[in-house]
Structure 1
Amino acid sequence: MLSHHHQAIARAMDLESLHAWKVFSLAFWEEPDHGLDSERQGELFHAGFLRSRWSLYDLQEHGVESYLSDYQALCLQTVNAKYQTVLTDPVLCGHVMANYFQVPEDGEGAMAAHPALAEMADEHLLHVLLVRDPQEWQPELAAITLVLSCRCPRHGRLVQRVEEGALSASIDPSTGLITGCRLLDNAGQLERVIRHPDSGANLLGQRLPAWEQARDALLRFFDESSYLRHCHLTFVITEQGLSFVAAEADQLAAHQMHQPLLDNASIDHYLKRLTD
């Protein structure tokens, strides 16, 4: 069941891989058990997956082979080598992003959401995964997901992470259309929805505002940042365009609720490059 994931961890001997394993291990034990028995938790741990992924990816139905593990997601950052600093240093990253997107000043707080997004949910985040084709060296929008906050009875508050019950909406990179919506229901099971559970707003088939300009800005940034092979960025959509929030590596679950990331040839190539 967990073959190649086990092998990747067993081969982790370099400092970067061992550091990734340490970061993953700490995150694993900080998560709740999500109702899983000890045997299942052990299987997930030794394959490099957080416990919440069992329900988020419906692993009982789909298996794990095509899914990027949380450990692999951490290792993937090393393909950028020393240039990963551009993403991990908040000041440097902010200066770079300001050439392409809005970047709030220190202390300014989050930018106001576009009215179209405010009608959907109280809060939102747009997660964008960019990779570079290793053969043609062209930028690729590998996955785009809109995460909408929900009022979760299980937590008794507004939640913004899919692990806690926020809604994940898959975005078609070409058109900006919402093509599918999923969330964890009150029983912690993966559920498909068409409308937002709080606002009642219809989501399926809606187009992100000014998507053509947003897509062009994303591709221009990555095309001109040719030293990067992979990055994951988070934005708020405003009336002025994309407002940069952070470069994060721990938000990939929102994408994989819709599509396993190891099915992407470029991501698979870079991971194999790290282990060869």
Structure 2
Amino acid sequence: MDRLSTLLTHFGVNAGTFHSGAFCGVSAYGGEQACGHVHLLQAGEVLLKPGNDPELTLNEPTLIFFPRPLAHRLFADESMGTQLVCASLTFDGGSGNALASALPDYLVLKLTDIPELGSTLAWLFKEAFDGHCGREAVMDRLFELLVILLLRHLISRRDQQPGMMAGLADPRLSRALALMHDEPARAWSVAELAAAANQSRAGFAEHFRRVVGQTPLDYLLSWRISLAQKRLREGRPIALIAEEVGYDSPSALARAFRRKTGQSPRQWKAEAR
């Protein structure tokens, strides 16, 4: 069972390349923007100020990943020989969707620490600096592939904070999560999910809560509401959304939606717009 493909079917990533080449000066990104960012330091040095965290000096090839809008600043002067390739990122369903929300505020990874991205990075840098026709379209697709490979890298790691990604990285929980992702409308019981994880009901419930940070049924509610939010953004009728995500009626979905978000679907949609 594929832990990642269903997530990306619902919450695919779209990239837009906006810089490639030498970098000198200051670039500031406000947290009010409706997108995340990827910056690739190909050569030289750059100073990164992420949010309210201390400034970082980066002086070897590095991937800087902001999955959601977050204020940050990049600085370099002529002496640093900085070469950057940058893209904006948007996830289907908005920056608050289940996948984007499960990721850290930002990641700073040396390229040598993520060798599985090596061939994609080499292709992306070649496109960035060779000047072939259609380069930006190719680079956009390569950035999207890069994010997918980065997500694959993250769910192969076990040293994560509680949340969806930690659950997907856990061999015993990943199948239960994938089942909920694949069939959100099904009335899953904890016993059924525990059987899929090959654990006792009590052991599974405790393990799930510790790793994911929610009970299994609370997680199912969160997943359903995230899917409903995406469909509301797309303009789908509330009655059809209710059926797709496992509720008998629009009013039942509205009650669950309000319990999770504090708003009715109509209020949330108006605010999101």
Of structures 1 and 2, the one with the larger relative CO (CA 8 A, separation 6+) is 1
TM-score over 0.5 (shorter chain): no
Give the TM-score taking structure 1 as reference length: 0.23
Greater helix fraction, Structure 1 or Structure 2: 2
